[in-house]
Structure 1
Amino acid sequence: MADINPSADSVRAMLSEANGRIRKAMVEYFELLEKGASQLPASDQVKQFCSQVQRNVTATFDLGDRLIQAKDAQDAFKIQSEFYQDQMRALTEQARSMGESAMKAATSAFTPKS
């Protein structure tokens, strides 16, 4: 019979296992996505975007792993706060990088070819 009141350790173990399975499926999904993206005309930009999305999703799974191991609510709030700060820095960098890539693509599209 299933344990009605599982211990914190068994709940953590179940969550870690589920997170691992979902993470594995995510890796497989992004591998398929990259294969499909290589056939698109703007494959470099698509690959860059996919890489950034993959980084964000991986960071979210890492957050889940860290939250599973949190000792108490204060520790969980600290972990979330650090995650949000890191994500805001990453978002700023990604926006800058995508802006540069878009400018480069626009410039090359309007440059006369000799």
Structure 2
Amino acid sequence: MAEINPSAEKFRTMLSEALGRLRKANTEYFELLEKGLSASPLPIAGQAREFCDYMQRNVIATFDLGDKLVQAKDVQDALKIQSEFFQDQMRSLTDQARNMGESAMKSASGMFTPKV
């Protein structure tokens, strides 16, 4: 196997550092968002927090994809990584949609239940 080009290694390092900075900014963003939702008097704040949790997990999975792609050995490896990511995300999306639907149904049914 051929040695990795030093300039390619430098590029990988730069990408990894950029991903690290983006991860940090993402974490700070979701912390602020969580504080805002926790202070919200809106009745849907619970569902909004649940939705934000799903968003955060999806963003983290995307950053993990970036980390893996930066370390890919070749195009085949990168395609395999992307394929696995896509399959995982589709499973995750299906689960999240089901959970959000169940949550919405519970909330909606609670609105029409007579208060005693």
TM-score (norm 2): 0.92
Q: Return the alpha-carbon distance in structure 2 between the equivalents of residues 79 and 6 of structure 1.
A: 23
Q: Return the alpha-carbon distance in structure 1 between the equivalents of residues 36 and 6 of structure 2.
A: 43
Shift of 1:8: 1.3
Q: Return the alpha-carbon distance in structure 1 between the equivalents of residues 55 and 37 of structure 2.
A: 14
Counterpart among 77, 80, 84 of residue 78 in structure 1: 80
Q: Return the alpha-carbon distance in structure 2 between the equivalents of residues 77 and 7 of structure 1.
A: 22
1:34 counterpart = 2:21: no
Equivalent AA in structure 1 for residue 91 of structure 2: R
What is the alpha-carbon root mean square deviation over aligned residues? 1.2
Counterpart among 28, 50, 54 of residue 56 in structure 2: 54
Alignment map for 1:1-114 (pairs within 5 Å): 7-38=7-38, 39=40, 40-114=42-116
Q: Return the alpha-carbon distance in structure 2 between the equivalents of residues 112 and 35 of structure 1.
A: 32
Shift of 1:6: 6.0
Q: Which moved more, 1:32-41 or 1:21-30?
A: 32-41
Equivalent AA in structure 2 for residue 46 of structure 1: A
**Matched residue of 1:112: which SS?**
coil
Q: Return the alpha-carbon distance in structure 2 between the equivalents of residues 50 and 12 of structure 1.
A: 30
After the TM superposition, which parts of structure 1 deviate over 2 Å for at least 4 consecutive aligned residues? none
Shift of 1:95: 0.3
Equivalent AA in structure 2 for residue 17 of structure 1: E
- Indicate the structure whose relative CO is greater, using CA pairs within 8 Å and at least 6 residues apart: 2
Equivalent AA in structure 2 for residue 106 of structure 1: A
- Structure 2: runs of 5+ lacking an equivalent: none
- Structure 1: runs of 5+ lacking an equivalent: none
Cα deviation 1:62-114 (Å, max 9, x = unaligned): 00000000000000000000000000000000000000000000010100000
Pairs aligned (count): 110
